[in-house]
A and B are shown apart, each in its own frame.
Chain A
Amino acid sequence: MATVLERVTKVIVDRLGVEENEVKLEASFTGDLGADSLDVVELVMELEDEFDMEISDEDAEGMSTVGDAVSYIEKKQA
Chain B
Amino acid sequence: MSDLNGKTAIITGASRGIGAEIAKRFAAAGANVVVNYSGSQQKAEAVVEAIEENGGKAIAVKANVADADTVKAMVDETISHFGTVDILVNNAGITRDNLMMRMKDDEWDDVINTNLKGVFICTKAVTRQMMKQRSGRIVNIASIVGVMGNAGQANYVASKAGVIGLTKTTARELASRGITANAVAPGFITTEMTDGLNEEIQQSMMSQIPLGRFGKPEEVAKAALFLASDEASYMTGQTLHLDGGMVM
Contacts and interface: CB of A to CB of B under 8 A. Distances in A.
Contacts of A42: 131
B80 to A, nearest CB: 16
Nearest to A49: B132
Contacts of B131: 42, 45
Interface string A43-54: 001000000000
B176 to A, nearest CB: 7
A68 B128 CA distance: 23
A38 interface: yes
A45 B132 CA distance: 9
B128 A38 contact: no
B67 interface: no
| Secondary structure class of chain B's binding surface, majority of residues | helix
Interface residues of A, number: 3
A42 B178 CA distance: 14
A45 B128 contact: yes
A15 B177 CA distance: 12
A70 B157 CA distance: 47
Interface in B92-136: 128, 131-132
Nearest to A37: B173
A38 B130 CA distance: 13
Interface string A24-63: 0000000000000010001001000000000000000000
A55 B128 CA distance: 14
B117 to A, nearest CB: 17
Interface in B140-186: 173-174, 176-177
B25 to A, nearest CB: 32
Contacts of A38: 173-174, 176-177
B247 to A, nearest CB: 33
Nearest to A48: B128
Contacts of B174: 38
Nearest to B131: A42
A1 B88 CA distance: 40
Contacts of A45: 128, 131-132
Contacts of B132: 45
A40 to B, nearest CB: 12
A38 B131 CA distance: 10
B71 to A, nearest CB: 17
A45 B177 CA distance: 14
A42 B174 CA distance: 12
Nearest to B177: A38
A60 B187 CA distance: 43
Contacts of B177: 38
Query: Which 5 residue pairs are nearest across A and B when measured between Cβ atoms?
Result: A42-B131, A45-B128, A38-B176, A38-B173, A38-B177
8 contacts: A38-B173, A38-B174, A38-B176, A38-B177, A42-B131, A45-B128, A45-B131, A45-B132
Given A45-B128, A45-B132, 6 more contacts: A38-B173, A38-B174, A38-B176, A38-B177, A42-B131, A45-B131
